[in-house]
Chains A and B, each alone.
Chain A
């Protein structure tokens, strides 16, 4: 069963606008971590933001914030003031405490920022 679901294969956003990329997850482990990575066309995997299941506040890193709704099991990435360089694939991933040997990945969302 897929544990990370990213329902938006592709998204468009106008430059300078905000965009939300969806991620829902499924786990029975009360302790877990959620990650977002960016993969530009050059291929490298860039860490963006992390949210722990016990964190009281939503994570923020510069223009990136994570809208963490634990009861709904969602961890959406919000990018504010989109830039052309934000055009990339975005992956949501989860690591469960009971099996912290690997990340479970979503299939990604392709974001295109239009000038």
Chain B
């Protein structure tokens, strides 16, 4: 089954404790992206990747890192999480002009 898999679905952590949200897709898509969703602000792009070893900043990259060492994986790293990074995070992948496929989301709470 074609899918984007994000883990974990829920994560509660404390300020400053490094964490990684994993994202994997099995559709051989070149394009992958991370979004965060906040009430009243909609979805905002954090980082995206056009292919392996090619990543670039989106609209709100501060406080986040990503890597794309393999085509299927695109982890999101928060080196020192802060409460303002409490949000719902989505990983998405796509190819060409086709619609983006989204993971099920990761609800992160930073206390």
Which residues on the A side are within 8 Å of B45 (C-beta)? Answer: 102-103
Which residues on the B side are within 8 Å of A46 (C-beta)? Answer: 102
Q: Does A7 contact B (CB under 8 A)?
A: no
Contact B99 A47 (CB under 8 A): yes
Known A-B contacts A101-B48, A102-B48; A45 and B40 likewise in contact (beta carbons under 8 Å): no
Q: Which 8 A-B pairs have the closest CB atoms?
A: A45-B102, A47-B99, A105-B43, A43-B105, A44-B104, A105-B42, A107-B42, A102-B45
Contact B42 A91 (CB under 8 A): yes
In the complex the two chains form, what is the Cα distance from A35 to B92 in whole Å? 14
In the complex the two chains form, what is the Cα distance from A52 to B31 in whole Å? 19
B56, B88, B104, B107: the one within 8 Å of A101 (CB): B56
Of chain A, the residue at the smallest CB distance from B33 is A102
Between A and B, 17 residue pairs with Cβ closer than 8 Å are A33-B97, A43-B104, A43-B107, A44-B104, A45-B90, A45-B102, A45-B105, A46-B102, A47-B100, A52-B97, A91-B43, A95-B97, A101-B31, A101-B56, A103-B43, A105-B42, A107-B40
Which residues on the B side are within 8 Å of A108 (C-beta)? Answer: 42
Q: Does B50 contact A (CB under 8 A)?
A: yes
B interface vs A, CB < 8 Å? 31, 33, 40-43, 45, 48, 50, 56, 58-59, 88, 90, 92, 97, 99-105, 107
Give the most central of B43, B97, B107: most A CB within 10 Å: B43
Contact A35 B99 (CB under 8 A): yes
B11 to chain A, nearest CB (A): 14
A44, A100, A102, A107: the one within 8 Å of B97 (CB): A100
Give the most central of A44, A45, A47, A95: most B CB within 10 Å: A45
In the complex the two chains form, what is the Cα distance from A45 to B59 in whole Å? 20
Which residues on the A side are within 8 Å of B101 (C-beta)? Answer: 47
Of chain B, the residue at the smallest CB distance from A35 is B99
Of chain A, the residue at the smallest CB distance from B98 is A50
Other than A44-B102, A102-B58, give 5 A-B pairs with Cβ distance below 8 A: A33-B97, A43-B105, A46-B102, A47-B100, A108-B42
